[in-house]
Structure 1
Amino acid sequence: MRTSRTLGKFLVNWIKLTIYIGLAYCWQTHQLKAGMGQAQSHSHFLSHWTSAVIRRIEATQGPFADAEAIRHARTASNFEHFVQRRAEQLAQQHQFDQGIRHVTMLLRVSYIALLLFAGLSGVGLAISLTPQQAGAVSVVEAIVMLIVVNGLFIVLWGIANLVGNRASSPLGWGFHHLLSKLRNPVHVNAALGLSQLIQQQRLIRPGLGTIAHSMWLTLLSAAWMTLFVRFVVADYQFSWPTTLLSEQHIQMLVATLHTVPAWFGLSAPNIEQGGSFNPQQTAWWLLTCVLLYAVAPRILCWLGCKLWLRQRVGTLTINPTLPGYSELLPAFEQRQVRVVDPAPAELHMQASSQRKSQPSTQAVNSTVALVYYLDWPEDDYANFRHAWQQQPTAVHCELVNSGAQRQHALNILTQGPNRPLLVVVNARLSPERGSLRFIQSLTKQGASSRQLHIALVNARPETGSQRTEMWREYLTQHVPTPLHIESFQVVDNNWVATVTELNAHWS
């Protein structure tokens, strides 16, 4: 009866301690997640991983054609978000996101295999400590194998983390060996990007620590459960003597280990009578010591490494001085003006839907003039076309938003003789690198300065002059050929009047 009461008190106290640790861990995790403030489709770490993959490829193989990616990232509020959105767009275009998913799945399967191996090792260890037929169990051997060895490895792990130099470990070697087996170039780039990210952001120690402690925790938990089951289903006797340790030494060991179990009301085994006087008491004492001195420290170490890793992931940053990132600073600085006065939100939705549309492939009359609408939403483009139909001038209107549409527009320009060309620029948007390159391409495709006209049209009176001057400045800097540039303003959504004014200046 006394043993049952003591066991009940111990279980109640252990459950309370587990609940307190769990609540503390959940609260800390919630605080870290709230501090990160990431409300993106990709997780914080995945966004940095994608950026690292694109950065590595561009640093070694040259930049991508990123006109679409720059347009996708133009609403970014800071350089980090700008780089991440651009990288996500490029990863989707070149299927690097599939490589990242493949490497992620490979690492998860490997991690599960490690945990399974650790669990089987724990079961095997517990079986080796208890004979196949019911017989004497060496308590000292169980203490050494389950408590002393575990504590020694925890101390070695702590010393290794206190040493400043980064030493290799079996887990780290296995990680790089696993990644070296990849053959698909997309998977290799994803793996190398991950390797560089965890090295630059100092994620190696908390990451490997989390994996190592989880393996040890699985091993010890499996060993404890196996011992518990075997003690329940079989009648074991316990022996204490060893070759070198005397009875006095064993009593000192038991007294030292009994310090914490005494807090839970458990009684120490009677060593003077060989421990065989009450085997049930000895079994519970051994299981309690393994739980308190082996499993519990591993739980605390695992929680500590998990929080350490989350803290490092939550503070991931992009270094703008690294090769592959520093080249993006000029493009980002061009986007900065949008922070002061961004274009309407519906404009981005319309523009993104327009990118999905395919350009017309029908033949174009070689005698009509060409009018290209650069970076306009569908609704405004429809208003422009309707207004042109009311003009006496015969023109071919073409919407130019995506890369495919730009190429199609250049193909039309090269068909037949040189024809007058008017580019109607959406001056509500800031100058974008892809748009400037498109205008440069027009000057190289046979459109002379006499034929090429640029119309900067703005439908927002409050920002018309600011954006127009910005476009003039960038066109002067990036397009060496002299251009005919005029500014126009859409007043009260009167598109017909705007097109009439365009036609008068152009003609």
Structure 2
Amino acid sequence: MTELNNLWLTETIRLREEHAGPLDDMEANRLARTAGGDLPTRIARRAVWLAERDGLAEALRHWLQGARLALIVIAVLAVISGAGLAFAAMGDGQTSVNVFWALGSLLGLNLILLLSWALGLVFAGEHGATLGRLWLWLSEKLARDAKAVQLAPALLLLLQRQKLNRWALGVLVNGLWLLVMLSALVILLTLMATRRYGFVWETTLLSADTFVAMTQTLGALPALAGFNVPTVEMIRASGDAALNIESARQAWATWLVGVLVVYGIVPRLLLALLCLWRWKTGRANLHLDLNLPGYAQLRERLMPTSERLGISDAAPAQLHRVESGVSDLQSDGALLVAIELDNQRPWPPQLPENVSDAGILDSRESRNKLLEQLSRFPPARLAIACDPRRSPDRGSLALIAELARSASATRVWLLQAPPGEALDAARLGDWHVALQQLELPFADCAPLNWLETGHD
């Protein structure tokens, strides 16, 4: 995942805990402490692990897919809208084109919204939020993941702290309007290339001199870029009827295209690039606000005051999976541990000299103590003894998975029933199914030879 996605998930976890209460994060905290790093790094590692475990990371991937699809839908609508503007401006070719009506159709709404966006950026920084909310809403709907509803508020809060939301919206708004203008330009050129248009201007109140001045003023910048501007004679003559002169038609067509490019396309392109530059610059400076209560409370759990600086073990590659995150180079020795055995069974069995006994885990304290030990000294081989007379509840399976991630190789030993008792076949089958889902090997005989030598 990218750094932005990690920060996004971290903020999502903070909001979730703020509204629904603290999550079960004991393993996440332990793994974050083991991985080391400064406090923001540990908070992010903890959040990413919790997000993977609780399905938020997958929801983020669904949301991003929905966001891309929503952007494609809006872009298609922008292309259609631009084509509509061009058709509305040029008409069907049967009548002359009023150049200033055409110009108003092509640029009027764009320039009004451009000015409105610029004023909103200066005074509020939130203009364009309607289009942004539409995109977020459509992204959420297309994601089709109930957990994705927590992602959009977290993203907005994260960006607002650095005022990046205005630049993100600026890229979206100006990029889409640039697409509208480009679509209008393409259709405009296509219509002019395939139809013969005459151009006129009409007025009741204004004089011909006013239109001459307006035409020359609007054409001044395009003229610097090489676009033609109609002569004064052409402008005056076009007030009576469309000139049936090839040079006049080409001059008006070139003037109209030039005005569209200079006042419609270029400003949107420059603003989109400006917003993109500010967005990338600001995104590189994004960081967690450690003064927020949700993060401040994690300081002692993730970076205890008693902790000393030193070299930390490398982070496991994939913490959320049952597969071991410990390499053979990190691990050493063999260990046998039992989970919640009763007093009827003598324990431990006779063990080879190189196999250690971790005892019986029957309390939260004993479990946490062993997990902390394994995080520092992971074994090469770990055997977990379970009593299949007990049901494979979620807590036991979670503990087995957590222990398995702390060793290079793990096997589960399903103990035989004491003399005079028989195992429940259905319950034993439940154990088999659960361990197969965890992808952990299991057997009903003691794996002592495997613990001693690494071979059966």
Shorter-chain TM band: 0.5 to 0.7
Q: How does 1:416-431 map to 2 (within 5 A)?
A: 416=344
* Mean Cα deviation higher: 162-171 or 176-185: 176-185
On the 8 A contact 1:122/1:220 being kept in 2, the answer is yes
> What's the CA shift string for 1:128-147, capped at 9, x where partnerless?
22222343111111222223
Secondary structure class of the residue paired with 1:152: helix
Letter in structure 2 aligned against 1:279: R
Distance 2:112 2:22 in 1: 50
Cα distance between partner residues in 2 of 1:294 and 1:114: 19
Deviation at residue 221 of structure 1 after TM alignment? 0.8
Structure 2 counterpart of 1:214: 175
Are the equivalent residues in 2 in contact too, given 1:350–1:378 (CA < 8 A)? no
Residues 44-53 or 235-244, more deviating: 235-244
Q: How far does residue 153 in structure 1 lie from its aligned partner after superposition?
A: 2.0
Is the partner of 2:220 in helix, strand or coil?
A: coil
Query: Which whole-Å deviations, capped at 9, do the CAs of 1:183-216 have from their partners, x for residues lacking one?
Result: 8542222333334333444332222222111221
Q: What's the counterpart of residue 328 of structure 1?
A: 298
1:214 and 1:456 mapped to 2: Cα distance? 52
What does residue 468 of structure 1 align with? Answer: none
Aligned twin of 1:254: 215
Say if 1:75 and 1:335, in contact at 8 Å, map to a contact too: no
Q: 1:118 aligns with which of 78, 87, 91?
A: 78
Q: Which of 111, 124, 133 is the aligned partner of 1:151? A: 111
TM-score, normalised with respect to structure 2: 0.67
Instruction: Tell me the residue number matched to 1:226.
Output: 187
For 1:386-401, list aligned pairs within 5 A: 397-398=335-336
TM-score (norm 1): 0.61
Cα separation, partners in 2 of 1:113 and 1:457, compared to 1, 3 Å: closer
Give the equivalent residue in structure 2 for 1:174: 134
Structure 1 position 166, deviation (Å) = 4.5
* Matches of 1:444 and 1:50, distance apart in 2: 28
Long gaps (5+) in structure 2:
349-360, 378-456
Q: Are 2:168 and 2:275, in contact at CA under 8 Å, matched by a contact in 1?
A: yes
Distance (Å, rounded) in 2 between the aligned partners of 1:60 and 1:93:
19
1:233–1:106 CA distance, 2 compared to 1 (3 A): same
- Unmatched tracts of structure 1, length 5 or more: 1-41, 358-374, 386-396, 400-408, 421-437, 460-507
Aligned position for 1:301: 271
Tell me if the contact between 2:230 and 2:251 (Cα under 8 Å) persists in the aligned partners. yes
CA distance in 1, matches of 2:318, 2:195: 73
After TM superposition, give the deviation of residue 81 of structure 1 in Å. Answer: 1.6
Q: Is the 8 A contact 2:339 2:362 kept in 1?
A: no
Number of the residue aligned with 2:22:
63
Q: What's the CA shift string for 1:268-307, capped at 9, x where partnerless?
A: 2031221724101211121111111110011011111112
How far is the alpha carbon of 1:152 from its aligned partner?
Answer: 2.6
Query: Matched residues in 1 for 2:21 and 2:181: separation?
Result: 50
Deviates more, 1:57-66 or 1:143-152: 143-152
Equivalent residues, number: 355
Pairwise CA distance, 1:353: 12
Look up the SS of the partner of 2:97 in the other structure: strand
Matches within 5 A, 1:344-359: 356=323
The Cα shift of 1:150 comes to 2.4
Superposed displacement of residue 382, structure 1: 5.2
Identity %: 25
> After superposition, where does 1:37-436 map in structure 2 within 5 Å?
42-73=1-32, 74-164=34-124, 166=126, 169-175=129-135, 177-178=137-138, 184-270=145-231, 271-274=235-238, 276=243, 277=245, 278-334=248-304, 337=307, 340-343=309-312, 356=323, 383=333, 385=334, 397-398=335-336, 409-412=338-341, 414-416=342-344
Comparing 275-284 with 44-53, which one deviates more in the overlay?
275-284
> CA offset at residue 115 of structure 1?
1.2
Shift of 1:175: 4.5
Aligned counterparts of 1:376 and 1:285: Cα–Cα separation in 2:
70
Deviates more, 1:293-302 or 1:257-266: 257-266
User: Are residues 234 and 352 of structure 1, via their aligned partners in 2, closer, same or farther at CA, if it must alter by over 3 Å?
Assistant: closer
Which is richer in helix? 1
Over the residues paired in the alignment, what is the CA RMSD in angstroms? Answer: 3.9
Q: Match of 2:364?
A: 441
Could you tell me how far apart the structure 2 residues matched to 1:354 and 1:51 are?
19
Question: 228-237 or 71-80: which moved more?
Answer: 71-80
Of the structure 1 ranges 319-328 and 145-154, higher mean CA displacement relative to structure 2 is found in 145-154
Contact 2:98 2:200 in 1 (8 A): yes
What one-letter code is carried by the residue in structure 1 that aligns with 2:323? K
Shift of 1:88: 1.4
Cα contact 2:89–2:101 (8 A) shared by 1:
yes
What residue identity is the alignment partner of 2:8?
A: W
| Cα distance between partner residues in 2 of 1:97 and 1:268 | 57
Change (3 A) 1:337 1:354: farther
Q: Could you list the per-position Cα deviations for residues 235-258 of structure 1 after superposition, in whole angstroms to 9, with x for gaps in the alignment?
A: 111112234432111111112112
Q: Secondary structure at the match of 1:398?
A: strand
Q: C-alpha displacement at 1:267, in angstroms?
A: 3.6
1:176 CA drift (Å):
5.9
When residues 85 and 210 of structure 1 are mapped into structure 2, their CA distance, relative to the original with a 3 A threshold, is same
Distance in 2 between residues matched to 1:139 and 1:350, nearest whole Å: 65
Deviates more, 1:294-303 or 1:54-63: 54-63
